[in-house]
Amino acid sequence: MLTKDTAICIRAIDYSETSQILTFFTRDTGKIGAIAKGSKRPKSSFGGPFEIFSYGKIVFAESNKDKLSTLTEFEPALGSADFSSLNTNLFTLNCCLFGAELLNKLTHDYDPHPQLFDDFLQFLQNAQSSTSIKHPAPSNDILTLLILFQLSLLKETGLQPVLSHCVNCKSRSRPERSRRDASRDTRYEFYFSSSVNGLICRDCEAAFPDKIRLSPKAVNCLSNLKLLAGAKENTLKEIEKLLTLHFTETLGQKPKMAKYILSP
């Protein structure tokens, strides 16, 4: 049976002199593994070898479970949907590769998530345009895009963390605006615990050994994501570090790309 779908390549491995094994995240079918026979031949019907983030319409012959599908057609999306210029900025590329790695690890074959597909596509498009408009590419903007994608990935895979109140006692994390010296106000003292997937307040933290203390600014940003856009680099890095630890706990291993994002 032939299936047509919109797809983004999230992994590409050389299989032989002429063929590649690809992982696609498709909009309506979910993640699939496929072999592209002859994709590396000079006159390949696919228009050349696939690269990570190749994006367009694919047709594939579905296989039985545990076997690779066979790719039969590829029609690249036009214009702004060409992500080859992500290569021009290493940090942007690494953030997009990190997003792809997490997407691959947190989704299952043939488990469709159309909203997550749209979010991932938007992430790549925003990263691409933000990199091509400003020079040098604004790393804060790219980090913000990565954080937002990571949070939507957690949400769409059923792992949305609780970021608006203490998981244990439900006390709110959002401080009153009139308070100026946030750092001394104990109501700002919040922690994150991977084991309960969310925030823990000062009164409850003793019972959660895996908690990580968060700065008031990070708590603010996490409970109101619009604040990420104006956040300082150290706050964004704190949040990204937290999310990386959380993904490490969730997956049982540190994601490979993590070290390229938060290197000092």
Distance between CA atoms of residues 36 and 71, nearest Å: 5
| Contacts for 256-261: CB closer than 8 Å, 24+ residues apart | 256/101, 257/94, 257/97, 257/98, 257/101, 258/98, 260/94, 260/97, 260/98, 261/94, 261/95, 261/98, 261/143, 261/146
Strand runs labelled E in 27-119: 30-36, 55-61, 69-76
Q: How far is the CB of 223 from Zn ion (least distance, A)?
A: 14
Structure tokens, 188: 């700002």
| Residue 162 interacting with Zn ion (CB under 5 A) | no
User: Which residue in the set 169, 225, 251, 262 belongs to the binding site for Zn ion (CB under 5 A)?
Assistant: 169
User: Which residue in the set 166, 196, 239, 261 belongs to the binding site for Zn ion (CB under 5 A)?
Assistant: 166
Between 187 and 241, name the residue whose CB sits nearer to Zn ion.
Answer: 187
Q: How far is the CB of 206 from Zn ion (least distance, A)?
A: 10
Containing 204, the helix (H) or strand (E) segment is none
User: Which residue in the set 127, 163, 201, 236 belongs to the binding site for Zn ion (CB under 5 A)?
Assistant: 201
Q: How far is the CB of 194 from Zn ion (least distance, A)?
A: 16
| Residue 204 interacting with Zn ion (CB under 5 A) | yes
| Residue 243 interacting with Zn ion (CB under 5 A) | no
Phi, psi (degrees; rounded to nearest 5) at 206: -60, -30
How many chain residues touch Zn ion (CB under 5 A)? 5
User: Which residue in the set 168, 193, 244, 250 belongs to the binding site for Zn ion (CB under 5 A)?
Assistant: 168
Q: How far is the CB of 170 from Zn ion (least distance, A)?
A: 7
Chain Cα centroid distance, residue 52: 15
Q: How far is the CB of 209 from Zn ion (least distance, A)?
A: 15
Distance between CA atoms of residues 206 and 191, nearest Å: 10
Region from 146-154, 161-169, 182-190, 237-245 binding Zn ion, contact rule CB under 5 A = 161-169
Residue 73, strand partner residues: 59
Which residues form the interface with Zn ion (CB under 5 A)?
Answer: 166, 168-169, 201, 204
